[in-house]
Amino acid sequence: MTGDQLAVFGILSVTLTLFVWGRWRYDLVALAALLLVFIAGLVRADQLFLGFGHPAVVTVAAVLVISRGLLNAGVIDALSRQLAKVGTRPMAQVAALTALVIVSSGFMNNVGALALLMPVAIWMSRRSGRSPSLLLMPLAFGSLVGGLITLIGTPPNIIIALFREETGKPAFGMFDFTPVGAGVALAGLLFISLVGWRLTPRREGQNAPEELFAIDSYISEILIPEDSRFVGQTVFHLTSAMAEETEATVVDLVRDGRHRPAPSWYEIIQAGDILMVEAAPEDLKTLIDGLGVKLAESKSHPMATLGSEDVRLLEAVVPMDSSLVGKTAASLHLRNNYGVNLLAIARRGRRLERQLGQTPLVIGDILLLQGTDTSLQSMLKHFTCLPLAERGLRMGEPSRLLTAVGIFALAMLLSTFNVLPVQVAFVSASVVMILVGLVPLKEIYESIDWPIIVLLGALFPLGHALESTGGARLIAEKLLILSGYLPPMGTLAVLLTGTMLLSNVVNNAAAAVLMAPIALTLAEGMAVSADPLLMAVAVGSSCAFLTPVGHQSNALVMAPGGYQFGDYWRLGLPLSLVVVVVAVPLILFFWPMAPI
């Protein structure tokens, strides 16, 4: 082994270790690896950042913008509305949700499809009286196999398509992945719907659906007496005083028998006003003892006053890309900045009872919010939160639906028939969606997953260094020795399984970038077409079912489903075996390992 090979394997080993450790974000780790390959003299300075202009990186960014356009047009919402007709049987719910996410993930970013359907799944679970854990893991795994169907379903397909050009053949087209991907997706759907959902862990001991946000037991009525120091002051002054010692929230003001939900902070308090506050018993005692207010006799059911035609309750999920993650409610000043009250937080199916204001929010938290339609929508959009489906799915206008689907279909046709290169076709489609208003200007950069873009741009030179130093050939030679004892089907299965295992500990795009050069070198050593080996890498890169860190979809459902790290293999391991058993024969049938 040469010095350059030792250097590239050392950098690769440290990089993979840091990926698995997860202490630092993967894009920062990839950038550090990029600098190390330059310091080690493996990549010249003028080639160091060429990866950021790689067609695969550009195409991935364009597809993410197009996905936002499809979401904004209401494409997924229109499909999701039909799920209300499924009923409450678990097998029917799993089959319908998984089928919809598979189809959606084939034609848009699979994480985006999952993010839109996850609130629907939580709603269906709660309506049926079951834990969300029953539906969320099948939904996440369905989004992964759905991405296999087309070129744009998942970043590894885009990466593998362009690696094919290194063999002297044109890049894989839009539907070149479909024969294998659709077969694997269908097998995955059947397994998950008939058997797999029974293997998902049941998270018992969670609040019943009707009790999760039963906040009436925490709503109390306090009376403002005539001698109160707050008479003549604004609601802002009262809430500021409350915030100094408690986490109580004013949710309604009753004056002369009329309710004023979510009263304005500039409302002047009068003697005899009754304020409805959401407060734990300890906080209520502090209010009465410290602020000179009295406990009023309840005259109505509190929950009836919390919503009106103008002010309503809404439940929202905190997704992975939300800026709320890691923030506390107190630091956000939701009431002051957005006119929204945070009434409760549910985490892993249980309502958090105390210290809401000081509790950092995590991915998958369900928030109970109160405010006007305008203030709620503004807050959700600013923090990228997903409203639960039971509050009404937003339907796109028919003209916007047709426009979005038309632009997308035209881009697919242009790339399918090689009128335009795939990166040009989809960049053009994303620009058109921006020009017609499907993607507002301020959402362009929000829709792009920049850590993935940085990861890809930084790893392409590392993959090139693995190939140029002979490191890929060295790994391929070991596989060649093994292939001498195996039939072609066995060699393909080993490559697919190895890629699949790697994708469970590193990002799937990184797995594709690192394994594609090995597949090309292995094909050269076997003197066969590289197409089946590249297809095996594409399938293996996208089938990370064993851990929550292998793919964003897995991580996104972990908190709402109440899953633990070791839960994923229970459904993931048999599903991985199904993928290998189905994918290998399909690859060899549609992409024969023909001699060259």
Write the DSSP string, 528-554: B-SHHHHHHHHHHHH---S-TTS-HHH
The arithmetic mean of pLDDT across residues 283-305, rounded, is: 60
Residues 385-408: pLDDT tens digits?
877 654 444 444 456 888 988 998
pLDDT for position 433: 94
The arithmetic mean of pLDDT across residues 58-74, rounded, is: 82
pLDDT for position 35: 94
Instruction: Report domain 225-292's class.
Output: alpha beta
Q: Can you give the residue ranges of every domain in the chain?
A: 3-205+407-564+572-590, 225-292, 311-391
Tell me whether the CATH fold assigned to 225-292 matches the one assigned to 311-391: yes
The arithmetic mean of pLDDT across residues 68-79, rounded, is: 74
- Percent above pLDDT 90 for the chain: 24
The arithmetic mean of pLDDT across residues 559-588, rounded, is: 89
pLDDT for position 84: 61
pLDDT for position 302: 42
On the CB side of 540, how many CA atoms lie within 13 Å of its CA? 31
pLDDT for position 299: 42
Least confident span in 66-70, 213-217, 253-257, 343-347: 213-217
Cβ atoms within 10 Å of 384's Cβ, excluding its own: 17
Query: Bigger pLDDT: 336 or 139?
Result: 139
| Residue 588 in this model has a pLDDT that exceeds 90 | yes
Residue 285 banded pLDDT, cuts 50, 70, 90:
low
Rounded Cα distance, 457 and 441, in Å: 24
Rounded Cα distance, 123 and 138, in Å: 15
pLDDT for position 101: 92
196 in Cβ contact with 571 (< 8 Å): yes
Please classify residue 359 by burial: count the beta carbons closer than 10 Å to its beta carbon, then call 0-12 exposed, 13-18 middle and 19+ buried. Answer: middle
pTM above 0.85, yes or no: no
Report residue 289 as tokens: 């003892």
| Residue 460 in this model has a pLDDT that exceeds 50 | yes
pLDDT for position 594: 85
The arithmetic mean of pLDDT across residues 559-585, rounded, is: 88
| Residue 369 in this model has a pLDDT that exceeds 50 | yes
Residues 82-99: pLDDT tens digits?
676 777 788 999 999 999
Alpha-carbon radius of gyration of the chain: 27
Strand pairing report for 341-347 and 386-387: unpaired
Residue 219 banded pLDDT, cuts 50, 70, 90:
low
Rounded Cα distance, 593 and 591, in Å: 7
Rounded Cα distance, 515 and 212, in Å: 46
| Residue 430 in this model has a pLDDT that exceeds 60 | yes
pLDDT for position 545: 93
pLDDT for position 78: 67
The CATH code that applies to domain 311-391 is 3.30.70.1450
